[in-house]
Amino acid sequence: MRLSVCLHVLNREADMRSPSRPAVIGAITVLALTSCGTGTDSGGGSVTLTIAANSISGGKNSESADWITKWVIPEFQKAHPNVKVTFQPSGVDDEQYKTKISLDLKSKTGADVIDLDGIWVGEFAQAGYIKPLAEVGGAAVEQWEGWSQIPQAVQGLGIFDGKKYGLPQGTDGRVLFYNKTLFKKAGLPEPWQPTSWQEIIDAGTRLKAAGVPVPIQLNAGTAMGEATTMQGVLPLLAGAGSEIYTAGKWTGDSQAMRDALGLYQQIYGGSGLGDPKLQQEAKGRDKSFARFAEGEIGILAESDYFWRSVVEPTAGVAPMKDRDQVVGYTKIPAKRPGGGIRGQDHVSMSGGAVRVLNPFSKNPGPAWELLAFMHSAAATKSELAGQVRISSRTDVNDEVLTADPMLRYIAEEVLPITAYRPGVAVYPQVSTALQEATAAVVSGGSAAEASAAYQTKLEGLVGGAANIGG
């Protein structure tokens, strides 16, 4: 619409003086450049707030988008008659969403309340794209009732350098899923509760003997992207007693790293316990879901997302009508009991999204109100309506998670032992380096070589060996 109006104006302009028509044509472009922008109409005195999220109705994270448009906006506007709230949906690859938001914030524009992956908080803060909530939202921030409901570990998702930049939306946890039917076929116990990596290998060997095509699916390679790091390398590293980034130092070619990659080698290095090709395929992860649902995979490391959205009996990507009977889950064991980080027997990794305030917001006060409103107990409950997932609020979780034993398991058993990724800008590249190390092992390299190559790459990324721990 805007375009046609604009051209119309230009045409009138062009007709006014016919003698120098060509010159006018030249001017059209210039005019078009200068006069045809969007006007942000902030109608008469009232406040307009915008929410940006990587979700879109009818597409990715559709429920979340619908929640914003159908619940948050009307409810908030009801309570604040002079505020108009709009929603700016995206629903694309996380990297692309991140790019768009970065560009917006870089040019000091963009929505007032913005969804971010917790892992981006550090780099956004370093770039000056976001500021601590208290700096933007004022004194009201510290007095918010919700803080007491969010466990400290979950609050960590929005914290960088000890300052709170965002409100966490919820979290997740990683476990081993297994197919009970296949386990029975292989004569394996139910419930299965492995306590060491060796037990996983043993189960895989039994499954293989029982004719299971892919006994173990441990995400590897670059094609799986962050799923390799979060569902593979990092839990293994934690199980070997090491975190990727602690006290300002990165984990390089350490014994823990060699152990983690060693497990990859055991699975993909010719034992037939895993399918190396599946790790290389561009859509390998989607395929792993489909194959699990078809009963071709014995053990699969995934987050609770797998339970909620993949094998979910009705709306899942690879629905399993008999999910509750067939799909078992168990905590990821450390290499050997007590060998995990903090001396744990079991380990996990967690992530989660946060919502931040745009420091360049014209209405920071109302924006905070909106943000706080979106994280109120009522809003959180509404957000979860019809689906079960782990929210950031204990009060809500207590109420909602009773419906799903698996998610209760995550909340009660897994979250206490979990760990989070470091929120610094170079992390995505370190993650890629980790993925490349697993890729090297999957295609036949040795764990030691891959680990050494990773060390070299890591030095280049983090500014030398001085920033790498032992």
Partner 1 sequence: MSGDAAGLGKGRATAFVLPALVLITVFLIFPALWTIYLGLTDYRLTGLSAANPRIVGLDNYTGALGDPRFRTSLWLTLLYVGGSAIVGQAGLGFALAWILRSRTGAVSRLVEGVVLLSWILPSTVVGFLWFALLDRDDGTLNALLHTPGFAWLLDHPLLSIIVFNVWRGTAFSMMLYSAALENVPPSHLETARLADAGVPQQLRDVVFPRIRRHVLTNLLLISLWTFNDFTPFVLTGGGPEGRSEILPVYVYRVALRDGELGVGAAISFLILLINLVFALAYLRLLRGRNGRREIAAAGGPHT
Partner 2 sequence: MIRHTLGRLTATVFLALVLAFFTLPMLWLASAPFDDTPRITTSVPEFTLNNFAAILDNPYALGSIRNSLIQGGGAAVLVVVLAALAAYALSRVRVPGRDVLLYLLLLLSSVVTGTAAMVPVFELATRLDLIDTHLGVILVVSGGLLPAAIFILKDFMDETPTTYEESARVFGATPLQIMRHIVVPLVRPGLATIAVWALASVWGGFLFQFILLRDPEKAPGSVILYTLYTEGGAPRLDLISTFSLLYSLPVVAMYLFVSQRYGFRFHGGIKA
The stretch near partner 1 (CB under 8 A) out of 159-167, 263-271, 377-385, 427-435 is: 427-435
Q: Does 157 bind partner 2 (CB under 8 A)?
A: no
User: What distances in angstroms separate CA 234 from CA 243, 278, 285, 301, 440, one per listed residue?
Assistant: 7, 20, 17, 12, 17
Q: Does 38 bind partner 2 (CB under 8 A)?
A: yes
- Pick between residue 98 and residue 308 the one whose CB is nearest to partner 1: 98
User: What distances in angstroms separate CA 17 from CA 23, 36, 245, one per listed residue?
Assistant: 10, 21, 68
Closest by alpha carbon to 84, among 33, 127, 42? 42
Q: What character string, x for contact with partner 1 (CB under 8 A) and - otherwise, covers 87-116?
A: --------xx-xx--x---x----------
Taking the complex as a whole, how short is the minimal distance between the CB of residue 129 and partner 1, in angstroms?
Answer: 7
- Report, in angstroms and rounded to the nearest whole number, the Rg of the chain calculated over CA atoms: 25
Q: Does 317 bind partner 2 (CB under 8 A)?
A: yes
Q: Does 11 bind partner 2 (CB under 8 A)?
A: no
Q: Which of 443, 459, 467, 469 binds partner 1 (CB under 8 A)?
A: 443
Q: Read off the amino acid at residue 351.
A: G
Are the C-beta atoms of 121 and 355 separated by less than 8 Å? no
Lookup result for tokens 């989660």: 352
The stretch near partner 1 (CB under 8 A) out of 232-240, 298-306, 396-404, 432-440 is: 432-440
- Pick between residue 273 and residue 278 the one whose CB is nearest to partner 2: 278
User: What distances in angstroms separate CA 276 from CA 262, 299, 303, 339, 406, one per listed residue?
Assistant: 15, 15, 21, 28, 29
Two tokens, residue 35:
């006069």
Q: Which of 182, 223, 238, 256 binds partner 1 (CB under 8 A)?
A: 223
Q: Which of 2, 11, 26, 109 binds partner 1 (CB under 8 A)?
A: 26
Q: Give CA–CA dist 376/369, Å, rounded.
A: 10
End-to-end CA distance of the chain: 61
Q: Does 71 bind partner 2 (CB under 8 A)?
A: no
What residues between 227 and 286 interact with partner 1 by CB under 8 A?
A: 277, 280-283
Q: What character string, x for contact with partner 2 (CB under 8 A) and - otherwise, covers 170-209?
A: ----------------------------------------
Sign of the CA dihedral with 194 first, then 199, 205, and 210 last: negative
Q: Does 277 bind partner 2 (CB under 8 A)?
A: no
Closest by alpha carbon to 415, among 80, 77, 190, 155? 155
The stretch near partner 1 (CB under 8 A) out of 68-76, 251-259, 392-400, 424-432 is: 424-432
Q: Which of 426, 447, 462, 468 binds partner 1 (CB under 8 A)?
A: 426
Two tokens, residue 433:
């380096």
Q: What character string, x for contact with partner 2 (CB under 8 A) and - otherwise, covers 79-118?
A: ---------xxxxxx--x--xx--x--xx-x---------
Q: Give CA–CA dist 330/410, Å, rounded.
A: 10
Q: Does 387 bind partner 1 (CB under 8 A)?
A: no
* Residue 92 touches which of partner 2, partner 1, none (Cβ within 5-8 Å per kind): partner 2
Are the C-beta atoms of 435 and 221 separated by less than 8 Å? yes
Q: Give CA–CA dist 388/331, Å, rounded.
A: 20
Q: Does 432 bind partner 2 (CB under 8 A)?
A: no
57 contact partners, CB below 8 Å, separation of at least 6: 65, 66, 69, 89
- Pick between residue 205 and residue 387 the one whose CB is nearest to partner 2: 387
Q: Give contact residues for partner 2 (rule: CB under 8 A).
A: 2-3, 6, 21-22, 25, 29, 32-34, 36-38, 56-61, 88-93, 96, 99-100, 103, 106-107, 109, 283, 285-286, 289-290, 305, 309-310, 317
